[in-house]
Amino acid sequence: MKCCVGMTVLIAALSPGLAASAADENADSQKQKELRPASERFASPDTDEIPDFRRLVVPVIGKLGCNSRACHGSFQGQGGFQLSLFGYDFKMDHDGLLERVDLETPADSYALHKATLDEPHRGGKRTEKGTWEYNVLLKWIAGGAKNVDLENSPTFERLEVTPSELRFSKAGETVQLKVVAVWSDGSREDVTCMCRFQSNDDQIADVSKTGEVVNQQAGDTHIVAFYDNGVQPIPVIRPVTDTVGEKYPKLATKTKIDGLVIEKLAKLGVVPSDVAGDTEFLRRVTLDMTGTLPTPQQIRDFVADANADKRARKINELLETPAYAAWWATRFADWTGNSDDQLNNVTPVRAQAAQDWYEWLRARVEKNVPYDRIVEGIVLAKGRQGDEDYLEYCASMSEIYQRNSEASYADRETMPHYWARNNFRQPEDRVIGFAYSFLGIRMQCAQCHKHPFDAWTMQDFHEFKNFFVHTTFRNSPGAREGAEKLVTDLGLDTKLRGNDLRRQITPLLAQGKVVPFDEVWTRKVEPARETNGNNRRRQQNNRGGNQPREARLLGESEATDLSQFEDPREPLMAWMRSNDLMAKALVNRVWAAYFNVGIVEPPDDMALANPPSNKPLLDYLTQGFIDSGYDLKWLHREIANSDTYQRTWVPNDSNHGDQRNFSHSIPRRIPAEVALDALVAATSADDEFGKMLTDVDRRSISIASAGSRYNENRQNYSLSVFGRSIRESNCDCDRSEQPSLLQTVFLQNDQDVYRLIDQGRGGWINQVASELGMRQTRTAGSAGNNSERQIARAETQIRQLKAELKKAKKADDEAEATKVARRLEFAEKQLARLTGVDKADDKASATAQSANDAEKIPDIIRRTYLRTVSREPSADELERTVAHVKSSENQLDGVRDVLWALINTKEFIVNH
Amino acid sequence: MARHRNCEGTSRRDFLKVGALGATGLTMSSYLRMVEAGQVKGGTARSAIFINLSGGPSHMDTFDLKPDAPDTHRGEFNPIDTNVPGIQISEHLPKLAKVQNLYTILRGVSHTLGAHRLGTEYVNTGNKPLPSIEYPGYGAVVSKELETAQDIPPFVAIPNSAQKPGFLGVRYAPLNTGSTPTAGQPYAVRGIELSGGLTINEVEKRQSLLKDLDSTFRSIEQDSQLIDGLDRFSQQAYYMITSKRSREAFDISREPSESAKLFGEDGFDQNCLLATRLVEAGTRFVTITLGGWDTHRDNWTVLKDRRLPILDSGLAGLLQALEMKGLLETTNVFVTGEFGRTPKINTERVGRDHYPRCMFMLMAGGGVKGGQVLGESNADATLPKDEVGYSPDDVAASMYYALGIDHQHEYHTNTGRPIMVVRNGNPIKELFA
């Protein structure tokens, strides 16, 4: 069977402009004669037409609900009769039906009796005698109940829906859709009566089974028509205000993005919010771009900067920070599924593969390597590089894995760990994972049935799968002998396997020995030999077997001969560069990260039935990104410099209900890693806070891996509570940005948060204490028994060390004295850290609280606001908080309360 | 405006709404309403305690002994009589033998997943694991479906749990205690204790400051599910932190001696005690994990010296305490490992290996009639008798039945896929006879 729908064709079908309105009638005259609807042609059984199984019978049994999930579409069937779910397995459906028809006396067919309830039917009455649906089935049976001859029939090309866009002006208005199927021979048929219709939001527009659309509320959505393999969305819009057309204000459009967004908003009668002020913009852009809060100093500097281009300069500046690379590498690690759980035993050192993966990505984001080349480095990844043989490969990998090695995994050309994951070893898993990572599409549906919301069939899935079967992890040529030699050279038992072997070689690796590594490798596909009759059968078997020679790209009609390539994945990569799917998926995901929702939402569900909310916008960004040479920073700049991104979250009367059209900024909870880092920053002294953008290695935004070992780590409690991506199921929803009770409990009352607030030196409260000349009364030390014990222990140790020092000095043992003195110094520092005071603080605390401390409080409050919610307090807020501090018994405790309250405001945990 | 809608018609926005309210339990399944209206007969449970015997306990040495089996299979232990005539269990479970009337043994439960992770996911969700989806654990479903007082955590895991909220979302994740109480000592759980000298007064003072300051988004509460949800959580968290009831529920040192003395000093005993206190306070679902059952080596020594006495004491205490407090009628107790162990002894290591085809589970309370043995394994405990056994799905459906939750209720994943609470099981009617 040939492919039925070319991707290009489908995309073309989507692209005719949105110009047509409800009143628009297409010029029928130019088209080939169009078949009248089946409902008219079969209104009476007195017709000579024999219904086509594919064009009429399958759509009718779909329309009657026979092949639905609850009925015969169930994988277990119903009453021993199974139909393919969502159709498209013509053979299976035909075989099943054929057992239930009576070719001699068609009207006595069991299938018809069931459908009309002449026979008891658990599915109830589906139709009645004499209806056009009944007649279609009857006439098909009477015509010999033939299956479709797919090889020799025209293929399905597209659906044409009129009107191509619906514009309503009041509730209750109705429009009847007309759907025409166009086939490859140019034949056309009105298939409205056989279509399945769906509204993407029935609160805005409802659609009946016959394709009549009724407007409900104002807003915009899509109605989708389904027939055969066609999935055609039709935009529906009803302005939410009467500020449309002439009345719509003339708005400045700073960038192309703004123009395209406002074009859509104008149709909706939605006026966008104003551009946000400097502090709101700075907080948002710093969080989105670098996963970091701006420091009080950065905020004050930015606000004071009088240059007109300061926002663009800030954007450029942020894109050059290590935090940008660290944070966006984490996002790429989400999308590619970097998880320790899945990389178990991929390398001889535990957890190292996940680290490699992250570093490889981070280096590329940092150097702004074009996105298509990053993808290429994963899609075409293999263990050996260049001409390396197995032993050379092991030598270069071992070198990377040595302690303090200068070689870095990031320097490897490709990143094969992606292919080595446990959940990426089966070809089916690879199709699903690959489509998720790089195309943002969900192929899993098509593994078992026709994709209900997209063009993909099971056949598409399984023929596409063949690109992935030639790549293997482990057992590469030469590996067995090579590994045996290495193990022997290391003096180890060659019978050691798995964990036993790993345990032995890991320490040797650290010592600089060369040890065996497993590798990802690809088998070259041999060309087909000239065949004679005898071995043709074997050839054919081979095609469908483990080493298929052909594979078919999604949306292409012709198969690719894999034997023409060194690596059968090459045509896959070339295909990704030849169309815009890869660019579109990435552009949409990056957009979603900046705007809370994608232009296609969810961002990883690029299906025909889930169209973009603003197609021209998505197309513009996609093409621009490709034209820029897949320049990631171009994309970030393009987005962040737009007014659309810079708008305030404060809505106006016309746009407060908008969640999908980018008329204002949408408050969203900051991602887990960013949240934890923000807590750390907000509670740190100025010096520490100032390092956040550059010292990224200890930050949560640069944690390489995900996985259960990682998640169960107590230190990561907060990250799992805040929904850091688990990277398990090929879904962007593995990361949760939903709020939860546990998160709030954590922020309000968790020891980890108190420990941050009450940390000694390096903490904000400690800094405030020394500015006020006070002693930090409450420290992490006094907050829990644990720390009290630590302090007691440190004090005892100091006493003991002092005694030892005395003894050593007495004994004139200089070496011992130096050693003990060093330990003593360390212990004293430790104590100072635990109690949050050093000698200087002691001196300061000796001085009484001076009168001018009172004047210091408002300044401290201002800076506490800046470091948490990134703005100055309002006069009212300042008054309340200063009053709170002054009414506190201890002013430091008062400031502490304010810090606590601010990190517990929604404004803190929400990016806005 | 436009929102994403999945194939069965629930918009993502609706999910969020249900979710935000769900934690306070304003939603109730239609099934439950029918139960309340007397249209469907459900169990009588309002809460459940799930004990996960992690590692896979040997069925032949605990609740399904085969004293007449050949030496290659039989094992060292002998059966003893219980307080229910005709039912025998292992000699190393004497306390449980004395309360057999309170619980029912399911024998010949059978599945095919012999790996720890898969088996664990199966028995913690009632659904055979699929790579493409993460099923929610029982506790997530129960806390979504059943109403809980605002100051009481709906789902608590002691000290943590294999049960994940799955596609239902993190808001249905358990509150992990992260630790085990020590007998007789005051106990508090992470995040909801008042420690470091923090007093209610101080909490109230700072809370009122927070309320004063947290007004930036007041204008968009109506339009933003996030802002609305955060407000609710903030209140709930405050209730829990300041609620005496909630803190006291966790503090096992407050248990009256009459019931406290039913429990031994082991951590598992104390976890069981904590579970009864939480259920008493209104928590809907508690999980306790007791590991150490992966007895590939020295099966009998490990069981006799450690595992069985611990399980025996804690579980018997739990059942008796629930009964004493009048909570057994409203609390379903479900005990299981991820699989059984090979009937044929691994003589090399004196152990038994993973064996999912025949295992036991225990169930009590919430309408479950105690003192029964349901199901039966064949002569050498290798398969259910006549190969007709219960599946983990059936037992899961039974637990939901006891709780009045429709196990065929459908949820939708983020990808719009419809998923039943338990797809393939049916409640075991005999449990509720």
State whether B54 and B90 are in the same domain: yes
Could you give the CA distance from residue B200 to residue A194 in angstroms, rounded to a whole number? 67
Domain ranges of chain A: 7-32+152-238, 53-147, 782-835
Contacts of A244 (CB under 8 A, 6+ apart): A266, A267, A268, A269
Q: Which of B250, B281, B304 is the last residue of a domain?
A: B250
Measure the CA–CA gap between B91 and B88, rounded to whole angstroms: 9
Per-residue model confidence (pLDDT) at position A853 = 62
Closest-CA residue to A321 (of A299, A291, A300, A301): A291
Of the candidates A229, A187, A234, the residue with the CA atom closest to the CA atom of residue A555: A229
Phi, psi of A213 (to 5 degrees): -100, 130
pLDDT attached to residue A118: 92
B352 domain residue, yes or no: yes
CA atoms within 13 A on the CB side of A276: 26
DSSP state of A558: S
Residue A541 has pLDDT above 60, yes or no: no
Q: What DSSP state is assigned to residue B133?
A: B
H or E segment to which residue A705 belongs: none
Q: How far apart are the first and last CA of chain B?
A: 52
pLDDT of residue A311: 98
Q: Do B173 and A742 touch (CB under 8 A)?
A: yes
Strand order in the sheet with A34-35: A34-35, A188-190, A178-183, A156-162
Which regions of A10-105 does DSSP assign to beta strands (E)? 34-35
Strand partners, A182: A158, A188
More confident residue, B21 or B298: B298
CA separation for the pair A514, A397 (Å, rounded): 8
Say how many C-beta atoms besides its own lie within 10 A of residue A50's C-beta.
15
Task: Give whole-number Cα distances, A606 to A42, A439, A440, A747, in Å.
Answer: 38, 8, 6, 36
Q: Which amino acid is at B21?
A: L
User: Last residue of some domain: B228, B250, B272?
Assistant: B250
The two tokens of residue A875 are: 């006069």
Asked whether the beta carbons of A143 and A50 are under 8 A apart, the reply is: yes
Report pLDDT for A852.
Answer: 56
Six token digits for residue A155:
């293929």
Residue B228 domain flag: yes
Please give the Cα distance from A466 to B205 (Å, whole number): 65
- Whether B195 sits inside 8 A of A905 (CB atoms) is no
**In this structure, is residue B7 part of a structural domain?**
no
Contact A898 B209 (CB under 8 A): yes
CB-CB under 8 Å, B209 with A200: no
Confidence of residue A317 (pLDDT cuts 50, 70, 90): very high
3-class SS of residue A198:
strand
Give A-chain residues touching B177 at CB under 8 angstroms: none
Pairing of strands B418-420, B410-412: antiparallel
Q: Does B133 touch chain A (CB under 8 A)?
A: yes
Residues in A closer than 8 angstroms to B209, CB to CB, are 880-881, 884, 897-898, 901
| pLDDT at B132 (0 to 100) | 63
Nearest CA of chain B to the CA of A56: how many Å? 24
Using CA atoms, how far apart are residues A226 and A187, in angstroms rounded to an integer?
A: 18
Whether the CB-CB separation of A701 and A330 falls below 8 Å is answered with yes
Q: Is the dihedral of CA B306, B311, B316, B321 positive or negative?
A: positive
Are B48 and B90 in the same domain? yes
B2 located within any domain: no
pLDDT of res. A452: 87
State residue A350's pLDDT score: 82
Q: How far is A545 from chain B (nearest CA, A)?
A: 24
Question: CB neighbours (10 Å) of residue B396?
Answer: 27
Tokens of A111: 């299938």
Measured between CA atoms, the residue of chain A closest to residue B193 is: A749
Angstrom distance (rounded) from CA A682 to CA A909: 11
Q: Counting Cβ atoms within 10 Å, is residue B272 exposed (0-12), middle (13-18) or buried (19+)?
A: buried
The answer on B402 and B295 residing in a single domain is yes
Q: Under a CB-based contact definition with an 8 Å cutoff, are residues A641 and A255 in contact?
A: yes
Write out pLDDT tens, residues B187-245: 987 788 777 778 888 888 999 999 999 999 988 877 777 887 788 788 878 988 888 89
Single out the residue of A591, A630, A872 nearest to residue A732, CA to CA.
Answer: A591
Of A199, A901, A910, the CB nearest to B206: A901
Q: What pLDDT does A787 receive?
A: 52
| B209 Cβ under 8 Å from any chain A Cβ | yes
The residue out of B219, B250, B281 marking a domain boundary is B250
Q: A208 to chain B nearest CA, in Å?
A: 14
What total number of domains does chain B contain? 2
Query: Of A553, A693, A656, A667, which is closest to residue A911 (Cα–Cα)?
Result: A667
* Helix pair A764-772, A891-903: axis angle to 10 deg: 150
* Local structure of residue B99 (DSSP, 8 states): T
pLDDT on residue A122? 83
CATH number at residue B377: 3.40.720.10
The answer to whether the CB atoms of A201 and B7 lie below 8 A apart is no
The DSSP code sequence of B160-206 is --S---GGG-GGG--EE--S-PPTTS----TTTS--TT--HHHHHHH
What integer is the mean pLDDT of A316-320?
A: 98
- Of the candidates A751, A777, A770, A756, which has an alpha carbon nearest to the alpha carbon of residue A684? A756
Please give the DSSP secondary-structure letter assigned to residue B336: E
Supply the pLDDT for residue A791: 67
Q: What b-and-e string marks burial along A882-912, b requiring 16 or more CB atoms within 10 Å of the CB?
A: bebbeebeebbbbbbbbbbbbbbbbbbbbbb
Residues of chain A with Cβ-Cβ distance to B205 below 8 Å are 897
Please, which residues bridge with residue B51 across strands? B288, B335
Average confidence (pLDDT) over A780-801: 62
Residue A472's nearest CA partner among A533, A426, A514, A405 is A426
User: Is A847's pLDDT higher than 70?
Assistant: no
Mark whether B236 and B322 lie in a shared domain. Answer: no
Chain A, window 654-683: residues with a beta carbon less than 8 angstroms from a chain B beta carbon: 656-661, 666-669
Closest by Cβ to B226, choosing from A739, A741, A749: A739
Global confidence as pTM? 0.79
pLDDT digits (tens, 9 = 90+) for A257-270: 999 999 999 999 99
Alpha carbons B393 and B128: distance in angstroms, whole number: 8
CB contact under 8 A, B214 and A201: no
Task: Kindly report the backbone phi and psi dihedral angles of residue B116, in degrees, each rounded to the nearest multiple of 5, phi listed first.
Answer: -55, -50
Give kind and range of the element (H or E) at residue A560.
Answer: strand A560-561
Contact indicator for A476, A483 with CB cutoff of 8 Å: no
Assembly ipTM: 0.79
Distances (CA, A) of B29 to A304, B54, B139, B140, B172: 57, 31, 16, 14, 16
Identify whether B363 is part of a domain: yes
Domain identity same for B154 and B194: no
Of B4, B206, B227, the CB nearest to A667: B227
CB contact under 8 A, A738 and B16: yes
Averaged pLDDT, A88-106: 93
Work out whether strand B285-290 and strand B47-53 pair parallel, antiparallel, or are unpaired: parallel
Domain contains B5: no
Same domain, B107 and B212: no
Please report the beta strands in A194-276, taking only residues with DSSP state E, as ranges in sequence order: 196-199, 205-207, 212-215, 219-227, 230-238
CB-count exposure of residue A613 (10 Å: 0-12, 13-18, 19+): buried
The predicted structure's pLDDT at residue A611: 95
CA A297 – CA A862 distance, rounded (Å): 12
Q: Are B150 and B296 contained in the same domain? A: yes
* Omega prior to A154 cis, within 30 of 0: no
CA dist A822 and A894 (Å) reads: 38
Its domain, for residue B202, covers 188-250
- Strand B47-53 and strand B340-341: the pairing is unpaired
CB contact under 8 A, B132 and A712: no
d(CA A907, CA A649): 12
Encoded amino acid at A674, one letter: V
Interface touch A659/B3, C-beta < 8 Å:
yes
Q: Write the DSSP symbol of residue A876.
A: H
Q: Minimal CA–CA distance to A512: which of A412, A383, A407, A416?
A: A407
Name the residue with higher pLDDT: A273 or A851.
A273
C-alpha span between B127 and B145 (Å, rounded): 18
Contacts of B214 in chain A (CB under 8 A): 901, 904-907
Mean pLDDT on B156-168: 88
**Shortest alpha-carbon distance between residue A907 and chain B (Å):** 7
Q: Report the pLDDT value the prediction gives residue B79, as an integer from 0 to 100.
A: 97
Residue B133: band (very low, low, confident or very high) from pLDDT cuts 50, 70, 90 = confident
Distance of alpha carbon A188 from its chain centroid, rounded? 40
**What is the C-alpha separation between A252 and A880, in angstroms, rounded?**
40
Report the pLDDT value the prediction gives residue A502, as an integer from 0 to 100: 85
Q: Percent of chain A, pLDDT > 90?
A: 70
Q: Which residues of A touch B412 (CB under 8 A)?
A: none
Do B145 and B169 lie in one domain? The reply is yes
- A764, A771 Cβ separation under 8 angstroms: no
Q: Is the pLDDT of residue A211 over 50?
A: yes
Residue with tokens 């009576």: A102
Domain A7-32+152-238 part of CATH 2.60.40.1080: yes
Cβ neighbours of A449 in B, within 8 Å: none
Whether A65 contacts chain B with CB within 8 A: no
pLDDT confidence of residue B131: 62
Round the average pLDDT of chain A to a whole number and report it: 88
The pLDDT assigned to B31 comes to 43
Q: How many CB atoms lie within 10 A of CB A699?
A: 23
The alpha-carbon radius of gyration of chain A (Å, integer) is 34
With respect to residue B4, please indicate whether it lies within any of the assigned structural domains.
Answer: no
Q: Does one domain contain both B396 and B270? A: yes
Calculate the alpha carbon distances from A398 to A349, A357, A390, A496, B57 in Å.
Answer: 10, 16, 12, 19, 42
